[in-house]
Amino acid sequence: MNPGDVAVYPAGNVGTPRPSAVIAGAETAISNPSGVAVDDSGRIYVANQGPRSWLQNYNCFTFGPGNISVYQPGSTGDAKPISIINGSNTEIGVPLGLTVDSSGNIYVLNESRECEGESIRSSPTLTTLIVWIFGGAPVPPILVFAAGSDGDVAPVATIGGPFTALSGFSAIALGPPTP
């Protein structure tokens, strides 16, 4: 199974151009990537959702645990990341995307490990997928890591909870400072 890759295209191309670089291979540690960002120095940050596995007890597939891998500017081929943010202290479940600010702080949109696929409960009325959260506490939807974070580090801030009105989130971005 192809764990995924990151393709880089030269500016100004449209349609189906050939990438100028592809980061792929066993050394990259890329595993089902869901998002990519580039900081001002050209470092490449990849959100990896992690391996897909079958949970017999829940009759469904899930991803995770995920991580964030970081590559030197201009990386291509089977490049080894210069850092990987992963481990239980990070609170990363299944990352959906990420972005980086001008100081190199990393903002990760984060999802709990959930079941994906056939529900154990068939329903004639619900056409939407029923998702069953399993095991442990839900993870915060937004994690902020300090610039240069590496290894099993705790986020410097998390945003999550019922007051946040975060639901069904799909992407994260940064904008100008709040007035």
Partner 1 sequence: MKFRHICGTPAMLFVIPGLASICPAADANRADAQRPTIFVANYQHITAYPAGSHGDVSPIAIDSDMSSPRGLARDSIGRLYVANSATNTVTVYAAGANGNVPPLAVIGGPETRLTPPAGIALDASDNIYVLNYYELNYASSPAITVYGPLANNATGFLDTAPLAVIAGSRTLLRTPLAIAADLNRNIYVADGSGGPLVRYAPDGIGRILIYAAGSNGNVAPSATISGFRSGIVVPDGVAVDSDGDIYVANEATLQGRKLSYQSGSVTIYAPGSKGDAAPAATIAGAGTELVEPEAITLDSSRNIYVSSYVNNVGLAVNLYAAGSNGNAAPLATIGGSNTGLGYPAALAVDSDDNIYSLNSDLGPLHTDGINVYPSGSSGDVAPSVTITSNFTGLGASSGIAVDNSGKIYVPDINGGDAGLGSVSIYPAGSYGIGPPLATITGSDTQLSYPSAIGLDPSGEIAVLKIISSISTHRAAWVTQHQTEPSRSIPSGTTSPPQSRSITGAGSTSQIRSTVK
Locate 50 and state its tokens: 């992690």
Within 8 A by CB and 6+ apart from 61, the residues are: 52, 53, 54, 55, 115, 116, 117
18-57 mask for partner 1 (x: CB under 8 A)? --------------xxxxxxx-----x-xx-x--x-----
**Bridge partners for 44 per DSSP:** 38, 71
CB of 48 to partner 1, least distance (A): 9
Q: Does 91 bind partner 1 (CB under 8 A)?
A: no
R_g over Cα of the chain: 17
Residue 140 as a binder of partner 1 (CB under 8 A): the answer is yes
Among 120, 135, 151, 152, binds partner 1 (CB under 8 A): 120
Segment interacting with partner 1 (CB under 8 A) among 77-85, 130-138, 146-154 = 130-138
Q: Should residue 68 be labelled a site residue for partner 1 when binding is judged by CB under 8 A?
A: no
Reading phi first (left if > 0) and then psi (alpha if -120 to 50, else beta), residue 114 is in: beta
